[in-house]
């Protein structure tokens, strides 16, 4: 029998972190810096302390209830809870076991993708599904049912999950699988943290030949070309993603770079462990259509007309923005809204054309957009992925940005699509109901397991899952 590799954040098996729960009231923000909330932040240092923290919050009954928070990389308000309690899982980072023969890992929910990569890549394994940043917890990956650049082949992160331990709002702990509690499983997957607090997870990693990919980058002249090329590229390569110039119009509407990659047989030297720390919030005027247009043009023309192929370390390909620490400061103090929509195949061209035309008409200063081909539905009631295309765009938060987001949401609804809740800070309760047909089923599960509405967030109140406070207004 192959030996397992039990480790924890201290690097040794069997040494538990102390039972400590730091308590402090503070203003929290999410990654977009466009939303903030004043909350009581609890940072338990053990599973027992986390259970006690939820029990204490349940007894004190603050009106905002409780929400769990990982590393705060969601863009909007799902990990914020104004006037309520936020319980951080980032001190719960033990890898309890990893079987290097089967690729099965059992770990705390606070373990990040970066931690898994450091431990498992030298052994020839990586997570089968990786989001766009490694600074995401396993609990957050389930709560958002995250996907990656290989969604066509691998589905979502939760497709690799065998079970998770869930601390329910009443204090009970259940080991949840697809079979033993399919309804609770489907509500928790993509359920933005509202069914309880994920404590631990067992999931299956993917064996890889090396630490490197063969990456081919080629110019794509417009959106129609992307829609034609991406499905075939996703079929024949392990990873496929498009980077779009969000400011071009006319015949070049949606032009960009297609990136396809597959693992090669041998390792390459790992890149130096360096990150650039972006030190300041940029003044809002720096990001305008001229500066962003110049950047996008340079990014497009760095690829020769005949394409280019090179070997690249898997970390650098999967997590390119992690090389710039605090890169969200580039958008300035007002923050950024990210719009990410999914549109079904039959509606994708018309919907994406309308989105891009609206963006270019407004000349909103969006850096390169990201387009992906998706092949599978997510497993959760509120999962984002659907068979079709996904498009993500960043917009600096300005007085007119919220109105632009509303117009984009109307386009998505008109074309039977949805907005990714992990990135959202703007959609209304009415739009949410139109985009997620299983929302009533989700609410029924919450009423059953959480009749006292213990688990809440600013997002859950904005989406109409829970009642808003009288003074809360979710608009710009």
Find the CATH number of the domain harbouring 263.
3.40.462.10
- 369-374 and 308-313: which strand pairing? unpaired
Instruction: Tell me, yes or no, whether 180 and 220 share the same domain.
Output: no
Instruction: Tell me, yes or no, whether 247 and 186 share the same domain.
Output: no
CA distance 237 to 301: 24
Instruction: Tell me, yes or no, whether 195 and 224 share the same domain.
Output: no
Q: Answer whether residue 466 shows pLDDT above 50.
A: yes
pLDDT value of position 330: 83
Alpha carbon 157 to its chain centroid, in Å, reads: 11
Half-sphere exposure (CA, 13 Å, Cβ side) for 191?
Answer: 29
Look at residue 224 and tell me if it is in a domain.
yes
Instruction: Tell me, yes or no, whether 135 and 226 share the same domain.
Output: no
Q: Answer whether residue 3 shows pLDDT above 70.
A: no
Instruction: Tell me, yes or no, whether 313 and 427 share the same domain.
Output: yes
CB 426 within 8 A of CB 463: no
Look at residue 468 and tell me if it is in a domain.
no
The residue-averaged pLDDT of 277-303 equals 84
CA distance 156 to 234: 15
Instruction: Tell me, yes or no, whether 357 and 298 share the same domain.
Output: yes
Sign of CA dihedral 420, 374, 300, 250: negative
Look at residue 447 and tell me if it is in a domain.
no
Q: Is 148 exposed, middle or buried (0-12, 13-18, 19+ CB in 10 A)?
A: buried
Q: Answer whether residue 14 shows pLDDT above 50.
A: no
Instruction: Tell me, yes or no, whether 148 and 118 share the same domain.
Output: yes
Q: Answer whether residue 15 shows pLDDT above 60.
A: no
CA distance 444 to 451: 10
Give the total residue count for the chain.
476
Look at residue 276 and tell me if it is in a domain.
no
pLDDT value of position 21: 53
Q: Answer whether residue 345 shows pLDDT above 80.
A: yes
Q: What percent of the chain has pLDDT over 70?
A: 92
pLDDT class for 286, splitting at 50, 70, 90? confident
Instruction: Tell me, yes or no, whether 68 and 175 share the same domain.
Output: yes
pLDDT value of position 7: 40
Instruction: Tell me, yes or no, whether 177 and 300 share the same domain.
Output: no
CB 312 within 8 A of CB 213: yes
The residue out of 415, 433, 451 marking a domain boundary is 433
From residue 471, how far is each of 25, 82, 461, 474 by CA, in Å? 20, 11, 12, 10
pLDDT value of position 356: 93
Instruction: Tell me, yes or no, whether 245 and 152 share the same domain.
Output: no
Instruction: Tell me, yes or no, whether 148 and 232 share the same domain.
Output: no
CB 317 within 8 A of CB 213: yes
Look at residue 386 and tell me if it is in a domain.
yes
Q: Answer whether residue 248 shows pLDDT above 90.
A: no
Structural domain range at position 42: 21-207
Q: Answer whether residue 2 shows pLDDT above 60.
A: no
The residue out of 164, 184, 207 marking a domain boundary is 207
Look at residue 225 and tell me if it is in a domain.
yes
CATH code for position 122: 3.30.465.10
Radius of gyration of the CA atoms of the chain, in A: 22
Q: How many domains does the chain have?
A: 2
The mean predicted confidence, pLDDT, of the chain is 90
Q: Is 298 exposed, middle or buried (0-12, 13-18, 19+ CB in 10 A)?
A: exposed
The residue out of 190, 207, 224 marking a domain boundary is 207
Q: Answer whether residue 214 shows pLDDT above 80.
A: yes
Q: Answer whether residue 340 shows pLDDT above 60.
A: yes
Look at residue 472 and tell me if it is in a domain.
no
> 261-277: per-residue pLDDT in tens?
999 999 998 877 667 77
Look at residue 476 and tell me if it is in a domain.
no
> Beta-carbon neighbour count of residue 293 at 10 Å?
16
Instruction: Tell me, yes or no, whether 392 and 415 share the same domain.
Output: yes
pLDDT class for 57, splitting at 50, 70, 90? confident
In this prediction the pTM is: 0.92
CB 153 within 8 A of CB 238: yes
pLDDT value of position 470: 67
Q: 212-227 as b/e, with b when 16 or more CB fall inside 10 Å? A: bbbbbbbbbebbebbb
Q: Answer whether residue 17 shows pLDDT above 80.
A: no
For 327: left if phi > 0, alpha if psi spans -120 to 50, otherwise beta; the answer is alpha
Element (H, E) at 38: strand 36-44
* End-to-end Cα spacing for the chain: 59
CA distance 269 to 275: 17
The residue-averaged pLDDT of 70-78 equals 94
> 154-164: per-residue pLDDT in tens?
999 999 999 99
Which of 2, 385, 464, 48 lies closest to 189, judged by CA? 385
CA distance 34 to 240: 30
Helix (DSSP H) and strand (DSSP E) numbers for the chain: 13, 20
- 388-396 and 336-344: which strand pairing? antiparallel
> 431-448: per-residue pLDDT in tens?
999 999 999 999 999 999
């Amino acid at each position: 029998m192959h030996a397992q590799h039990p480790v924890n954040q201290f690097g040794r098996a069997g040494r538990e972190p102390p039972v400590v729960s730091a308590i402090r009231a503070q203003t929290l923000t999410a990654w977009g810096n466009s939303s903030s909330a004043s909350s009581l932040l609890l940072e338990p240092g053990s599973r027992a302390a986390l259970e006690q923290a939820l029990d204490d919050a349940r007894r004190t009954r603050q009106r905002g209830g409780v929400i769990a928070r990982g590393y705060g990389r969601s863009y909007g308000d799902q990990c914020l809870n104004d006037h309520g309690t936020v319980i951080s899982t980032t001190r719960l980072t033990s890898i309890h076991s990893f079987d290097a023969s089967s690729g099965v890992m059992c770990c705390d929910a606070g373990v990040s993708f970066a931690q898994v990569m450091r431990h498992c890549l030298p052994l020839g394994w990586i997570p089968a599904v990786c989001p766009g940043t490694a600074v995401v917890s396993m609990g957050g990956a389930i709560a958002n049912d995250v996907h990656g650049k290989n969604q066509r082949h691998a589905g979502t992160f939760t497709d690799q999950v065998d079970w998770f331990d869930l601390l329910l709002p009443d204090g009970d702990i259940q080991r949840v699988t697809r079979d033993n509690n399919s309804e609770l499983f489907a509500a928790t997957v993509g359920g933005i943290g509202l069914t309880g607090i994920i404590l631990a997870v067992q999931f299956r990693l993917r064996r890889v030949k090396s630490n490197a990919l063969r990456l081919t980058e080629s110019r794509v002249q417009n959106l129609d070309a992307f829609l034609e090329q991406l499905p075939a590229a996703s079929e024949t390569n392990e990873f496929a993603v498009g980077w779009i110039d969000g400011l071009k119009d006319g015949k070049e509407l949606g032009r960009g770079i297609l990136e396809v990659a597959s693992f090669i047989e041998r390792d390459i030297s790992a890149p130096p462990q360096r990150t650039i720390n972006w030190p300041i919030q940029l003044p809002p005027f720096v990001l305008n259509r001229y500066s962003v247009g110049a950047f996008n043009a340079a990014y497009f023309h760095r690829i020769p007309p005949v394409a280019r192929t090179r070997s690249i370390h898997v970390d650098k390909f999967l997590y390119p923005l992690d090389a710039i620490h605090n890169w969200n400061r580039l958008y300035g103090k007002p923050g950024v809204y990210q719009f990410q929509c999914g549109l079904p195949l039959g509606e994708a061209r018309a919907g994406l054309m309308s989105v891009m035309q609206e963006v270019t008409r407004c000349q909103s200063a969006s850096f390169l957009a990201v387009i992906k081909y998706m092949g599978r539905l997510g497993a959760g009631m509120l999962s984002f992925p659907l068979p079709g295309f996904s498009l993500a765009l960043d917009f600096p938060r300005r007085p007119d940005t919220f109105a632009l987001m509303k117009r984009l949401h109307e386009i998505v609804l008109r074309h039977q699509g949805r907005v990714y809740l992990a990135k959202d800070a703007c959609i209304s309760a009415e739009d949410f109901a139109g985009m997620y047909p299983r929302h009533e089923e989700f609410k029924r599960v919450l009423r059953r397991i959480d009749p006292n509405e213990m688990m809440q967030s600013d997002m859950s109140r904005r989406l109409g899952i829970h009642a808003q406070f009288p003074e809360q207004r979710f608009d710009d």
